[in-house]
Structure 1
Amino acid sequence: MKDKAALAALAWVMLIWANAANLHAGERSLLERLDTEVHGYTELRYGARLQDDPEESDASVMETRLQMEILKTTDWFDLKYKGDAWADGVSEQGEYDTRELWFFARPLDMLDVKIGRQILTWGTGDLVFLNDLFPKDWRSFFIGRAAEYLKAPSDAIKVGLFTNVCDIDLVYTPRFDPDRFITGEYVSYWDGDRLAGQDAVVNEVTPNAWFKDDEFAARLSRTFTGYELAAYGYDGFWKTPNARTRDGQATFSRLRSLGASLRGQVGQGIGNTEFAWYQSLDDTYGHDPNIPNSELRYLVGYSREIAPECTATLQYYVEQMLDYAGYRENHHDGAPRDELRHVLTLQLVQLLMNQNLELALSAYCCPSDQDAYLRPTIQYTCTDHLTLEGGGNIFLGESRTTFFGQFENNTNLYLAVRYSF
C-alpha cells in the first residue's frame, strides 16, 4: 500500500503552486512586455462506477491536477510548454506528463516548422478517427477526464509547405508513439478468455528503437470553391497492441495507410466523407491469427444547427476486414468479429445562459456488435476562473466480447471543479 499521506501532501503543494501562479498585475505586465503568456488551472475530479467491478477500484477517477502553460512569442519563433502534475487516488501515485514542449518557426512565407512534443490532429471525423493516426488516450476518455485528454502528445517534427497547387503537411516521429490504450489498470477489458483488470495489466512489447521504429505521416490538401479535398498517407504501426509475439505477448505490428477526405457545405450544414485503407504489412494476406488483417474504413457525416445554439452531428462509420475467409479459417477463440462493423454516432451540443452552460452528448451505436457507448456532459462556467463539470461514460452490450460491451462494468459518473488562472 503506497503512502496516502504523501499523496495528500502532494495535492496541497499543487494547490499552493497554483495559487502562487495566479500572478499579480505588475508581474503580468512584465510578462506581456516579454511576450510571454502564463496560463493554467487546478482541478479536483472524482468519478465512481455505477456497479461492482471485481477487477477494478470503485472509483474510476480520483485526482487533484495542476496544469501549467507557458508560451513565449517573438518575431522569429515561438516556444511553448504545457505540463500536468496530479495526485492519482486510483493508482495512489503522484504523476506528471509533459503535454507540449515545442519550438515553432516560419523561416519562409511558404514554410513553417514545429519541433518537439505536440498535439497533432487531422481528418474530418468528429471523435471518429480514420486517417488521424496520431496517439489517443482512451484510458482518460473512458474514466471521465476532460475531453481534451483524448488526444495524447507526439514527439515529432512537423513541416508545413504552402504552395499554389496544394498545402503539404509532413510529420516525422523518430520513435513510435502508441495510443494510451486500455491496459486494465483503470478500465477492465476482455482479454480473449475473460474480463481482466488490475489482476492482468497488459505487459506489451513496444517497438521503441530511435529512427528505426519510426512513423511518417503526410497530408496534401486543397480547397476548391469552399470544399476541402485532402489525401493522407501513413507508415508506422497499429496504434494499439492487437498482435501477439510467438510467446503470446501483446505487441504492435506494422501498418501502412492511404486515405482521402472531402468536406464542405451541403444545404444548411457541413458534410464530410472520409476513406482509409489500412495495410497490415506483417501479414498482407490475413493468414496469421496473431496479426490483424488489413481493413478498409469509411465515414460519412453531416453537421448543422438544428435549433438556436444547438448543433447536431450525425456520422455513419464502417470498418471492413479484408481477407475475411482466411481470418475465419484461422480464428479459434470462439468469438470471431464480423466482416463489417457498422457504427452510428451522434454528437449534440446545446449552449444556454449566454453560452455559460453547455449540455453535450456523444453517442455511439454499433448494430453489428449490438453494443453502444454514451458520454453525456454538462459544463457550467461560473466565472472567468471557475468551471463546474459533470458527466458519465455509459457502456451497453449484449456480449462481453465486443468493443463497447467489454467495458460495461466500467460505466461511471464523474464530477469536476476547475479553477483557471
Structure 2
Amino acid sequence: MAVNASPLQDRLYDKYGVDLNGFIEGRQGWRLRDDPYEKDSSISEMRMQLDVSKDADWGVIKLKGDLVGDQVEEKAYAELRELNFAFSPLDFMDLKIGRQTLTWGTGDLLFINDLFPKDWQSFFIGRDDEYLKAPSDAIKGSLFFDLFDIDLIYSPVFNASRYVDGTRLSYWNSMLGRRAGQDFIFTDHERNSYFKDSEFAARVSKNITGIELGLYGYSGFWKTPEGLDSKEAKLWYPRLSAYGASARGALWGGIGNLEIGYYDSRDDRDGDDALVRNSEIRTLAGFERELASDFTGGFQYYQEWMQKYDSYKSTLPAGTAPKDEVRHVFTLRLTKLLMNQNLRLSLFTYYSPSDQDGYIRPKIHYKVTDQWAMEVGANIFAGKDDYTFFGQFQDNTNAHAGVRWSF
C-alpha cells in the first residue's frame, strides 16, 4: 500500500485486494543552445501514471500505464508500460507473462549484456530515469536450483529501443554529411513479424561467498537500427547474437563490478559492409563506495572494441571520417543526501577520450512531503566533432524542471 493511502485506496484494497498507486507530474524543459532543426522546448508535458496490482491466490496481476499531454509534439496519448501475470507453477519456478520492464547486468547507465529496449529520447530530453527502460512484450521464466539460478526470456516479436530519429533531438546524419532533425526524420524497416522476428535471452547466475556471477546469452537483433538501406533512405535492424559474463561483489570498502560481452553482428561477420555495424567486444569495470556520510561516488571504465577494423576502413566511402577501433568512455557518479535525505544532489558524467566528447547530467531532487516532490536538472552535451556519439547532440543541451504529486 502507498504511504498515506487515500480512503479510495483503502477501500479498493480492503474490498478487492487491489493496490492502486500513481502520480501526476508536470515537466518543462528548455534548450540552452539554438538548434535550427528542433523546437525551443525540449520537453513540455503533463503525465498521469496509474499502477494497479492484485495479489490473487494463484499469482499477481499488474497494470501500469501513463496518460500524457505532450505540447512539444502537440498530441495526447496513452502508453501501456506493464500488463502482466506473475505466478509460480512449481516450487522452483516463477513465470511472468506479458508487457514488463526487463533488466540485468552490472553497469550504471552503461549496458553490455542488458539487451532489453531503452528509450534514449526520453533520457536525453529530461524525463524521469524510469523512462530510460522501455517495456518488452515477453515471457520470463526463472528457475531456482541449489547450484545456480536460470532466467529465460522469450519475446515472440522484436522489442526495439526508441532511438534518436530527429523528431525531438537533432543528430548526425551520415547520408547528408551534417546534423539534421525534423528536416530529416529517419524511419526504419520494422522487425514486426511474430515468431520470425523473435528474441531469446538467458542468464545463469550464482552467488559465491558474496560475489554475484552471471553468464549471458542473447539471440535477436541490434536494439537500435545499425544498418542503413541507402536506396530507400531507411534504417534496419541487423541480426545480433551476444555472449557475456559479469561479476559483482564487495571491494575496498565498496562494491566492484566487471562485465564483458561479445556482439556477433551476424549480417556483417566479415566487417566489409560499411552500412552494417561490425561485431564488437565490450568491457566494463566499475567501483562505487560511500565517500562520507550520505555521500557516495561511483566510477566506471567502458570500452567498445570493433572487430575486423581493417575491413571496415577499406569499405568506407571517400571523405568519411572513420570511427576509432577502440572507443573509451569514463563515467563518474556523485550523490549527496541532505535535509534528512529529503534533498538529493546528483551528478552523472560521461567522457570519451577517444571521441573527445562528453555528457553531463546534474540533478536536484527535493521531497517536499510524502506526496509532493520537485526536481530540476540538465542534459549538457559537448564534443570536438559533430559526428561522434555525444558530440552530435551539442545543440540539444537543455535544462528541465518538474513537479510530481504521488498517491
Matched ranges for 1:343-382 at <5 A: 343-382=329-368
Answering whether residue 321 of structure 2 is matched by residue 339 of structure 1, we say no
Aligned to 1:130, what secondary structure does the other structure show? coil
Aligned to 1:406, what secondary structure does the other structure show? helix
Answering whether residue 105 of structure 2 is matched by residue 123 of structure 1, we say yes
The correspondence for 2:263, drawn from 266, 278, 290, is 278
- Aligned twin of 2:34: 52
- Aligned twin of 2:294: 309
- Aligned twin of 1:106: 88
Q: Deviations over 1:309-341 (max 9, x none)?
A: 111110000000000000000012521100000
CA distance in structure 1 between the partners assigned to 2:15 and 2:306 by the alignment: 57
Is contact 2:166-2:184 (8 Å) kept? yes
The correspondence for 1:318, drawn from 303, 307, 327, is 303
Answering whether residue 385 of structure 2 is matched by residue 404 of structure 1, we say no
Is contact 2:161-2:223 (8 Å) kept? yes
- Aligned twin of 2:157: 175
CA distance in structure 2 between the partners assigned to 1:86 and 1:151 by the alignment: 17
Answering whether residue 187 of structure 2 is matched by residue 203 of structure 1, we say yes
CA distance in structure 2 between the partners assigned to 1:349 and 1:35 by the alignment: 38
TM-score computed with the length of structure 1 as normaliser:
0.93
CA distance in structure 2 between the partners assigned to 1:372 and 1:154 by the alignment: 30
Aligned to 1:122, what secondary structure does the other structure show? coil
RMSD: 1.2
Answering whether residue 219 of structure 2 is matched by residue 235 of structure 1, we say yes
* Percent of residue pairs bearing the same amino acid type: 50
Is contact 2:12-2:19 (8 Å) kept? no
Is contact 2:125-2:398 (8 Å) kept? yes
Is contact 2:213-2:245 (8 Å) kept? yes
Task: Pick closer, same or farther for the CA change 1:225–1:205 going to 2, 3 Å.
Answer: same
CA distance in structure 2 between the partners assigned to 1:357 and 1:284 by the alignment: 50
CA distance in structure 1 between the partners assigned to 2:8 and 2:173 by the alignment: 57
Is contact 2:9-2:20 (8 Å) kept? no
Matched ranges for 1:198-277 at <5 A: 198-245=182-229, 247=231, 248-277=233-262
Q: CA deviation at 1:49?
A: 0.2
Amino acid at match of 2:218: Y
Structure 2 unaligned runs (5+)?
Answer: none
Amino acid at match of 2:235: A
Q: CA deviation at 1:347?
A: 1.2
Mean Cα displacement is larger for which, 197-206 or 26-35?
Answer: 26-35
Amino acid at match of 1:304: R
How many residues in Structure 1 have an aligned counterpart in Structure 2? 400
- Aligned twin of 2:54: 72
Amino acid at match of 2:309: Y
CA distance in structure 2 between the partners assigned to 1:254 and 1:415 by the alignment: 39
Answering whether residue 117 of structure 2 is matched by residue 135 of structure 1, we say yes
Aligned to 1:274, what secondary structure does the other structure show? strand
Q: CA deviation at 1:74?
A: 2.0
The correspondence for 1:147, drawn from 129, 134, 143, is 129
Answering whether residue 148 of structure 2 is matched by residue 166 of structure 1, we say yes
The correspondence for 1:327, drawn from 294, 303, 312, is 312
TM-score computed with the length of structure 2 as normaliser:
0.97
CA distance in structure 2 between the partners assigned to 1:259 and 1:26 by the alignment: 47
- Aligned twin of 1:299: 284
Q: Deviations over 1:227-278 (max 9, x none)?
A: 0110000000001112022624211100000000011011200100000000
The correspondence for 1:83, drawn from 47, 57, 65, is 65
CA distance in structure 1 between the partners assigned to 2:337 and 2:200 by the alignment: 39
Amino acid at match of 2:71: G
Aligned to 1:90, what secondary structure does the other structure show? coil
CA distance in structure 2 between the partners assigned to 1:32 and 1:393 by the alignment: 44
CA distance in structure 1 between the partners assigned to 2:344 and 2:158 by the alignment: 37
CA distance in structure 1 between the partners assigned to 2:155 and 2:42 by the alignment: 32
CA distance in structure 2 between the partners assigned to 1:401 and 1:101 by the alignment: 39
Aligned to 1:28, what secondary structure does the other structure show? helix
Q: CA deviation at 1:23?
A: 7.8
CA distance in structure 2 between the partners assigned to 1:30 and 1:316 by the alignment: 48
CA distance in structure 1 between the partners assigned to 2:55 and 2:12 by the alignment: 14
CA distance in structure 1 between the partners assigned to 2:123 and 2:201 by the alignment: 24
Q: CA deviation at 1:34?
A: 2.5
CA distance in structure 2 between the partners assigned to 1:119 and 1:343 by the alignment: 26
CA distance in structure 2 between the partners assigned to 1:24 and 1:234 by the alignment: 44
Task: Pick closer, same or farther for the CA change 1:331–1:162 going to 2, 3 Å.
Answer: same
Aligned to 2:11, what secondary structure does the other structure show? helix
- Aligned twin of 2:402: 416
- Aligned twin of 1:12: none
CA distance in structure 2 between the partners assigned to 1:116 and 1:154 by the alignment: 8
